[in-house]
Structure 1
Amino acid sequence: MVCAWLRRAGGGRPEAVAVLLPVLVMTAVGLWGLDRGGMWRDEAVTFQVAQRSLPQIWHLLHTVDAVHGLYYLLMHPVLAARPGEFALRLPSVCGAAAAAGGVAALGVRLCRPRVGLWAGLLYAVTPMAGHYAQEGRSYALVAAGAVGATLLLVRAARTRRAGGWWAAYGGTVAVTCLLHELAALVLLAHAGTLALARMPARVWARWACAAGAAIVALVPLVLVSRGQSAQVAWLMPPGPGSVGRLLGAFTGPALPVAVPYLLLVALAVRPSRLRYGGLSLPAVALPLTVVPPAVLMTVSRAWPLYDERYVLYALAGAPLLAAAGAERAATLIAGAGVGAGVGVRARAKGRVDAGLRSSSPVRGARLLAEVRRRARPRPAGATAVTLTGVLTVALAFAVQLPLMRRDRMPEHHGADNLAAVSAAAGRALRPGDPVLYLPSIVRRSALAYPRGFRGVHDVALRVPGPVSGTLYGQEAGPEELRRRLDRLDRVWMVAEPFALSPSWYPDSATERVKLAVVDEEFAPREQVVREGVTLRLYVRGTSPAG
């Protein structure tokens, strides 16, 4: 689609190559280690919810996770045929590849093919992009939508009769925001672009209509999700280090990459490119990079909503700025060559004049033509310059390769390695064993990887999640749970470490009964600890082992 758009805009083979190569590289990076044998907790939610029936998904969205509702509905047919980690993450790989191609297309459209090529490749090898390309959540798709909307904004703003482009822009923004409502901040970035470009009133009016339509489509989701705000109660206000961490995520955390990256960005964002208006690359990329994170961090000081993944789409502007800075550096170097050529031609003119005075006009003319040819600087788009930029991006990838390799190891997620928890449970538990999950959210391991918990008796569960319209099911009330435990002589506790701490006091009465009964009537007999989760066997009326 991006390549077809470029061809209609007058692009040719260099433009298509500049877009396709980043798409291929991002696809390769995304597919590398995709099925690594371990989902983390949010991916596990996608995996189990998307496999429910459509009425069950709809039932769930009325109580929890409405903000991800469209994503679950999109993932439902994906996981229907062959559920597994590869299918779970493949849409994110496609979204990341589309985002990389869109970044390249923006560079081509706003500057030149090699700038688009550099920017797209730099996006593809950024560890943050690679990470979310392999996560079974909506963020890579949101990034693709935001980049696509920015492409449509550029096209619509540069076309006098652009009703269809503005409609496509509004529709793309609406779908992107329905995938995650905080993507609406991209509209503020686009407003900043129009302001920096000093667009006429007619462009502002059409943008406002398209943006307004997208916001109207988003209102029902906002109203529902406000009632589910407890889901993000774990978020904290951003601290002093939040900006630095996000900057490191955008550029890559390795200093040999981050420092040159920032220098190139500074070279691109020079006042002369922004002062006089025009839909330039910095005018598009700078607000996209800065505005959504800045606004979300500011709001989160009073109402915590900020997390790096929620502004992944802002990453798209950073490689565009770095590539524009590299282009500026190449131009400056070429300009120095022009200055040297002028000096050479001046010296040659004296030699030609001497040749003419010596009755050798033909020799003098040939000498002047040869000097001009040698003194002429190579074109700014020369193959050598382009390849130098590509090799520089490859070097940045090589520097960050250990980090990206580590990110693909199941152990990297630590306590969130649900497959490892299930494997430990499979070694310790036997069919028919009674099990308590503390807190109930720990049941996610059994839902994501049921093999290790096959045949066990979930003591506290009253109504399973798909039937109750909840993520992890509804548990029995305190009195009912106490009666169930009274009939048991032994029970396994699958618990988060904090839940076994004497200082933890749960809000749920059912959770308090779990703790009280095993502490008062049972004693620990054996224990298995797996990163972040403890499996402990309690036996009634016996003393602790050892």
Structure 2
Amino acid sequence: MCLPALVMLGLGLWGVDRGGIWRDEAVTFQVARRSVPQIWRLLHGVDAVHGLYYLLMHAVLAVHPDEVMLRLPSVCAAAVTAALVGELGVRLAGPRVGLWAGLLYAVSPLAGHYAQEGRSYALVAVGATGATLLFVRGVRAGAWRAYGTVLALTCWLHEFAVLLLLAHAASLALARAGSRLWRGWGSAAGLVVLGLLPMILVSHAQSAQLAWVRPPTWATAESLLRWFLGPGEGVFWTCLALALLGLAGLAGPPGRLTCARVGLPLAVVPPAALMLVSRLSPLYVDRYVLYALSGAPLLVAAGADRLARLAARLRLRVPRPPVLALAGAALAALALCLQLPLMSDDRDPAHRPDDLAAVARVAAREVKPGQPVLFLPTQARNAALAYPGAFAGVRDVALDEPGPESGTLYGREADAAELRRRLSGLDRVWVVADRDLLAGRWSPSGPAERAKMAVLAQEFLPAGESADGDASVRLYVRRVALSALPGLAPVPVPQRPARR
């Protein structure tokens, strides 16, 4: 399946150097450049779920630490995933279904989005798709060792990949597999879960990291369905119709896997399971189940193949098989053309939640060496960690101990009393902050963050601002000093709609 891989590789490399990273990528960038002992120490307190990925990226960024190298593993992983989806289609339904499924994955805007993210999700997708291919081989040949090994490694890249076991169990149930297959698969599945137990225990202790996640709704499920099948109206409805037609493959003799029996559980079970759990304890984020996307092209391609076979049975004029395969590839190319504007927009840094390069450019232009800077909340220090040159020589008012030495993501800051003392000696301070926080749309947690907000509100006034997206670089001047300095006046706080 070289063609789907080449298409995915080309789309992944298109605009991969977009000139800015956002907050999650910045965490990868700064953590992976720490020493291995520093990464190991960090994982004891936070982000254990990404530990294996950080260690892999440590080796990658040791070659050349820049934004392209940060994203290159995800680009390559997405290309391999497209090839594996194609190979799944070949094994389950034949070469033309494999070609169509692989191309549909390659032109998916969702796959393209995460192909250009410096995070683990594209690597999890290639591991999960590879494990599914080995699952199909296991059902046919009874060989489960490679399946268990690949899936265990994938789960250590992200623990929610363990939901793939539920999808594979559903596939066995739909195929009405015999007890011998259940025993073989069950042994491998048990070893995967057993090997993941240390990660589950450690990450459960770090579950406060997901406090920002909200319970999913029906709109969440509808949005995921649209992204899986294609967000454009024409593409979505065509793919939905073909996927429904592909469900006919659920029928058939027992013990046989089909595109429907593999693709439907793969696409539906992991997201549905995580959404159901999230009704009690919110955990669902769409990128955590990106790997489930691999099931959707299998269903769509199987539906297209079934439509062609029905046309042939009705003695309609159907092209010869090679021409038919090319016609399906041409329709995938049409889907790509229809979604190109969306994919082009996705390569704009402004399309991400924030653009730390833009913040860094403002800081480099406005903030001079030796001037005090306050990051609000502490996560806003991400910009300085990702682009240290832009903040070279500035005084970080709140910082007590940098992240690598303290075993934290953003460094250890002074307590509330010490922060008040440090700010009391300043007439001016540059504040790098979340604009929604400054506008009062959400409140920070912890006494130190509240102390920052209180001191700024009570003792300082904003005297100038350069903003970009969700981030603000704002000069605050002490109220007494502001009235004594000619040419400086309070500036109004810009209002903007709340984030969805």
TM-score range for the pair, normalised by the shorter chain length? over 0.9
How far is 1:504 from its partner?
Answer: 5.2
| Aligned residue runs from structure 1 range 316-355, under 5 A | 316-337=294-315
Q: Using the TM superposition, name which of 140-149 and 472-481 deviates more.
A: 472-481
Alignment partner, residue 140 of structure 2: 158
Unaligned runs of 5+ in 1: 1-18, 341-376
Instruction: Please say which structure displays the higher CA radius of gyration.
Output: 1
Name the structure 2 match of 1:385.
Answer: 324
Written as runs of structure 1 = structure 2, the 5 A alignment for 1:112-123 is 112-123=94-105
Aligned to 1:451: 389
Q: Equivalent residue of 2:374, what SS? A: strand
Letter in 1 for 2:72: L
Indicate the SS of the match to 1:241: helix
1:308 to 286, 292, 295: 286
Q: For the residues of structure 2 that align with 1:38 and 1:431, how far apart are their CA atoms?
A: 23
Q: Is the 8 A contact 1:273 1:280 kept in 2?
A: no
The amino acid across from 2:49 in the alignment is V
Asked if residue 97 in structure 1 is aligned to residue 36 in structure 2, the reply is: no
- For residues 140 and 239 of structure 1, what CA distance do their matches in structure 2 show? 25
Q: Give the distance between the partners of 1:224 and 1:503, measured in 2 at CA.
A: 32
Aligned twin of 1:347: none
Distance 2:102 2:324 in 1: 16
The question of 1:545 aligning with 2:482 is answered: no
Match of 2:3 among 21, 25, 42: 21
Cα distance, 1:284 vs structure 2: 1.1
- TM-superposed deviation, 1:263: 0.7
How far apart are 1:279 and its partner, in Å?
1.4
1:438–1:272 CA distance, 2 compared to 1 (3 A): closer
Contact 2:367 2:394 in 1 (8 A): yes
Q: CA shift at 1:54, angstroms? A: 0.3
Contact 2:436 2:470 in 1 (8 A): no
Give the alignment's Cα RMSD to 1 decimal. 1.6
1:346-495 to structure 2, matched below 5 A, reads 382-413=321-352, 415-495=353-433
Q: Which amino acid aligns with 2:462?
A: P
Partner Cα separation in structure 2 for residue 206 and residue 502 of structure 1: 56
Please say if 1:66 is aligned against 2:48: yes
Helix, strand or coil at the partner of 1:210: helix
Would you say the 8 A contact 1:274–1:283 is kept in 2? Answer: no
CA distance in 1, matches of 2:144, 2:250: 29
Change (3 A) 1:271 1:132: closer
Cα distance in 1 for residues equivalent to 2:160 and 2:313: 44
State the shift of 1:378 in Å: 6.5
**Structure-1 residue corresponding to 2:177:** 199
Which residue number corresponds to residue 496 of structure 2?
none
Structure 1: distance between partners of 2:435 and 2:319: 64
| Counterpart residue number, 1:41 | 23
Contact 1:196 1:274 in 2 (8 A): no
Q: Which residue of the partner structure matches residue 233 of structure 2?
A: 255
**What is the TM-score of this pair, normalised by structure 2?**
0.94
Q: How does 1:43-58 map to 2 (within 5 A)?
A: 43-58=25-40
Correspondence 1:526 to 2:464: yes
Q: Residue 223 of structure 1 aligns to which amino acid in structure 2?
A: L
Look up the equivalent residue of 1:303 and give its one-letter code. S
Residues 504 and 182 from structure 1, CA distance in 2 versus in 1: closer, same or farther, beyond 3 angstroms?
closer
Structure 1 226/156 Cα, relative in aligned 2: closer, same or farther at 3 Å?
same
Residues 431-473 of structure 1: per-residue CA shift (max 9 Å, x gap) = 1110011111111111111222121110110000001111000
Provide TM-score, normalisation by structure 1. Answer: 0.86
Q: Which amino acid aligns with 1:499?
A: L
Deviations 1:157-198 (A, max 9, x none): 111xx4xx3110000110011100001000000001111112
Q: Aligned partners of 2:24 and 2:164: how far apart in 1?
A: 24
- Please state how far the C-alpha of 1:519 moved relative to its aligned partner: 3.0
TM-aligned CA deviation for residue 221 of structure 1: 0.3
Match of 1:106 among 85, 88, 106: 88
Q: Secondary structure at the match of 2:202?
A: helix
Please list the CA deviations of residues 337-375 of structure 1 after superposition, one character each: whole Å capped at 9, or x if unmatched.
28x9xxxxxxxxxxxxxxxxxxxxxxxxxxxxxxxxxxx
Amino acid paired to 2:387: Y
How far apart are the structure 1 equivalents of 2:350 and 2:465? 21
Contact 2:8 2:79 in 1 (8 A): yes
CA distance in 2, matches of 1:181, 1:397: 32
Q: Give the counterpart letter for 2:157 in structure 1.
A: L
Cα distance in 2 for residues equivalent to 1:508 and 1:298: 31
* 3-state secondary structure, aligned to 1:81: coil
Corresponding letter in the other structure for 1:128: L
Unaligned runs of 5+ in 2: 491-500
Alpha-carbon contact 1:31-1:93 (below 8 Å) kept = yes
Task: Select the residue among 191, 212, 227 that pairs with 1:213.
Answer: 191
SS at match of 1:416: coil
Q: How far is 1:389 from its partner? A: 0.3
Q: Please give the secondary structure, in 1, of the residue aligned with 2:400.
A: strand
Counterpart amino acid of residue 417 in structure 1:
D
Q: 1: CA distance between counterparts of 2:252 and 2:200?
A: 35
Question: Aligned AA for 2:400?
Answer: R
Percent sequence identity over matched residues? 57
- State the Cα deviation string for residues 465-492 of structure 1 (Å, max 9, x = none): 0011110000011222222223322111
Q: Distance in 1 between matches of 2:78 and 2:95?
A: 20
Contact 1:92-1:140 at 8 Å conserved across structures:
yes
CA distance in 1, matches of 2:259, 2:235: 22
Cα 1:184–1:505 change in 2 (3 A) is closer
**How many angstroms apart in 1 are the aligned matches of 2:126 and 2:467?**
40
Structure 1 residue 323: Cα displacement: 0.6
- Per mean C-alpha deviation after superposition, the further-off stretch among 187-196 and 273-282 is 273-282
- CA displacement 1:272-319 (0-9 Å, x = unmatched): 635755212211111111111111111111111111111111110110
Alignment: residue pair count: 484
State the distance in 1 between where 2:166 and 2:443 align: 42
In the alignment, the residues of structure 2 paired with residue 93 and residue 388 of structure 1 have an alpha-carbon distance, to the nearest angstrom, of 27
Counterparts of 1:252 and 1:513, CA distance in 2: 46
Following the alignment from structure 1 to structure 2, what is the Cα–Cα distance between the partners of residues 389 and 59? 51
CA distance in 2, matches of 1:193, 1:132: 26
Match for residue 82 of structure 1 among 64, 68, 71: 64
- Mark the CA change 1:477 to 1:22 in structure 2 (over 3 Å): closer, same or farther: same
Q: In 2, Cα distance between the equivalents of 1:504 and 1:104?
A: 45
